[in-house]
């Protein structure tokens, strides 16, 4: 009953098989391996973006940080939801990679920035001349940290506001596959067609061992990315193992099948939680992560019965939790958790 995070799951069998296959013989190092050339072609095709530059890194933290550093000078501000992973869970990695840019919170219910709040934040920043930091880039997370979904239209509305101030937009897609599975949108519709300039396309949480693609729809900063990646210690000498994971992930829609399974188990769990006495979900849960609030004692009871998930800070006199399903969650897992949660 592992519902702590999608990163507590292992890798899908296809991923391990691909890594094993890639292990044969010698290969060019530092990203010049043959597999990487195929990965680039796969991603360009998947996103209908024949000019995109594509790079692989091992963690979502560095994927986001490098993407932001390309656009955010040290004296600028990055606009993101105050609960965004880049703001709260990366120990200041964006500040490190940007050499000191600021994260500016743009609030909104259910983990989603509102256009009104974004406009207000953009107007507040960058209007005091040399004394204040300058505006740099918008960063949107989809699936959000609250487990919710931005539709392509919602993303487009935000990026248009940013664009009107001259700002590019980044999408933190640590759970991009879950967002695609939940929305039915195409990868292109969710990204560049909605105004996204650079994407962190996650693999790790969705059945890879550890690989994320950074997709630059405008390749102008590709060389700078390569230098920054190397300087960050993230250029793998035996790069083939990153390439092999991503190639398998993209082959035969594995990425989408894994996310669909995670989301289906999320839906089953959400339905079951909603049916529990005295329980509700704090946010809509269209994908694989949900935040229930339930009667006091519920968390402790489930833990005692072997369930694993994170309790969350919440309202006085209530228990709150975060539940995450993954590609490897089964119906039996979900049902066992629901049983453990019941009085």
| Residues in region 276-315 near a second copy by CB under 8 A | 308
From CA 286, how far away is CA 184, in angstroms rounded?
12
Please report, for the chain, how many H helices and E strands are present, in that order. 14, 12
Which class for 341: exposed (0-12), middle (13-18), buried (19 or more C-beta within 10 A)?
A: buried
Using CB under 8 A as the binding rule, whether residue 26 contacts a second copy is answered as yes
**Is 122 in contact with 165 (CB distance < 8 Å)?**
yes
**Is 280 in contact with 290 (CB distance < 8 Å)?**
no
Smallest gap from residue 224 Cβ to a second copy (A):
8
Smallest gap from residue 90 Cβ to a second copy (A):
7
Which class for 219: exposed (0-12), middle (13-18), buried (19 or more C-beta within 10 A)?
A: middle
DSSP percent split of the chain into helix, strand, coil, nearest 5: 45, 15, 40
Using CB under 8 A as the binding rule, whether residue 109 contacts a second copy is answered as no
Please select the residue that binds a second copy; options are 133, 143, 321, 338, rule is CB under 8 A.
Answer: 133
**Is 1 in contact with 336 (CB distance < 8 Å)?**
yes
Smallest gap from residue 204 Cβ to a second copy (A):
6
Query: Judged by CB, which is closer to a second copy: 25, or 184?
Result: 25
Please select the residue that binds a second copy; options are 185, 235, 248, 321, rule is CB under 8 A.
Answer: 235
Using CB under 8 A as the binding rule, whether residue 74 contacts a second copy is answered as yes
276 contacts: CB under 8 Å, gap ≥ 6 = 292, 294, 298, 338, 341, 342
Query: Judged by CB, which is closer to a second copy: 27, or 156?
Result: 27
Using CB under 8 A as the binding rule, whether residue 30 contacts a second copy is answered as yes
Q: Single out the segment in contact with a second copy by CB under 8 A; choices: 28-36, 47-55, 165-173, 263-271.
A: 28-36
Query: What are the Cα distances from residue 32, in Å, to 28, 40, 235?
Result: 5, 12, 11
Query: Judged by CB, which is closer to a second copy: 245, or 260?
Result: 245
Please select the residue that binds a second copy; options are 132, 219, 311, 314, rule is CB under 8 A.
Answer: 132
Please select the residue that binds a second copy; options are 18, 39, 49, 61, rule is CB under 8 A.
Answer: 61
Please select the residue that binds a second copy; options are 115, 232, 284, 314, rule is CB under 8 A.
Answer: 232
Query: Judged by CB, which is closer to a second copy: 260, or 328?
Result: 328
From CA 149, how far away is CA 131, in angstroms rounded?
36
From CA 291, how far away is CA 282, in angstroms rounded?
6
- From 214, 233, 134, select the one nearest 172 (Cα to Cα): 214
Query: Where is 86: in which H helix or E strand?
Result: helix 85-88
- From 190, 185, 178, 184, select the one nearest 259 (Cα to Cα): 178
Smallest gap from residue 24 Cβ to a second copy (A):
7
Q: Are strands 292-294 and 319-324 parallel, antiparallel or unpaired?
A: antiparallel
From CA 160, how far away is CA 25, in angstroms rounded?
49
Using CB under 8 A as the binding rule, whether residue 145 contacts a second copy is answered as no
Please select the residue that binds a second copy; options are 11, 67, 137, 155, rule is CB under 8 A.
Answer: 11
Q: Single out the segment in contact with a second copy by CB under 8 A; choices: 41-49, 61-69, 110-118, 289-297.
A: 61-69
Query: Judged by CB, which is closer to a second copy: 227, or 275?
Result: 227
Q: Single out the segment in contact with a second copy by CB under 8 A; choices: 142-150, 164-172, 221-229, 273-281.
A: 221-229
Smallest gap from residue 219 Cβ to a second copy (A):
16
Query: Judged by CB, which is closer to a second copy: 74, or 297?
Result: 74
* Site residues (CB under 8 A) for a second copy, limited to 152-181: none
Please select the residue that binds a second copy; options are 204, 243, 299, 325, rule is CB under 8 A.
Answer: 204
């Amino acid at each position: 009953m592992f519902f702590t995070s999608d990163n507590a799951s292992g890798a899908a069998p296809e991923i391990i098989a691909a890594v094993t296959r890639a292990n044969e013989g010698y290969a060019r190092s530092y990203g010049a391996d043959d597999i990487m050339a195929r990965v680039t072609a796969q991603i360009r095709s998947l996103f209908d973006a024949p000019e995109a530059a594509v790079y692989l890194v091992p963690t979502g933290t560095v994927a986001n940080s490098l993407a932001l550093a390309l656009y955010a000078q040290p004296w600028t501000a990055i606009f993101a939801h105050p609960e965004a992973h880049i703001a709260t869970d990366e120990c200041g990695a964006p500040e490190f990679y940007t050499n000191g840019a600021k994260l500016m919170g743009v609030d909104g219910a259910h983990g989603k920035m509102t256009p009104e709040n974004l406009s207000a934040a953009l107007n507040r920043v960058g209007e005091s001349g040399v004394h204040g930091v300058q505006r740099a880039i918008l960063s949107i997370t989809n699936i959000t940290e609250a487990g919710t979904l931005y539709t392509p239209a919602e993303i487009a509305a935000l990026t248009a506001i940013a664009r009107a101030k001259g700002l590019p937009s980044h999408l933190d897609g640590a759970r991009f596959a879950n967002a695609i599975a939940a929305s039915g949108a195409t990868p292109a519709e969710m990204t560049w067609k909605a105004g996204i300039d650079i994407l962190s396309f996650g693999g790790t949480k969705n059945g890879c061992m550890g690989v994320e693609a950074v997709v630059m729809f405008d390749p102008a900063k590709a060389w700078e990315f390569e230098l920054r990646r190397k300087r960050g210690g993230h250029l793998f000498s035996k790069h083939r193992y990153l390439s092999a994971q991503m190639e398998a992930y993209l082959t035969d829609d594995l990425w989408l099948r894994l996310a669909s399974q995670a989301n289906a188990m999320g839906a089953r769990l959400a339905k079951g939680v909603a049916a529990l006495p005295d329980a509700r979900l704090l946010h809509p849960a269209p994908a694989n992560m949900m935040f229930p609030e339930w009667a006091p004692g519920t968390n402790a009871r489930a833990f005692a019965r072997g369930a694993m998930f994170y309790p969350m800070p919440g309202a006085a006199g209530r228990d709150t939790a975060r539940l995450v399903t993954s590609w490897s969650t089964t119906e039996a897992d979900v049902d066992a958790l629901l049983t453990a949660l019941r009085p």
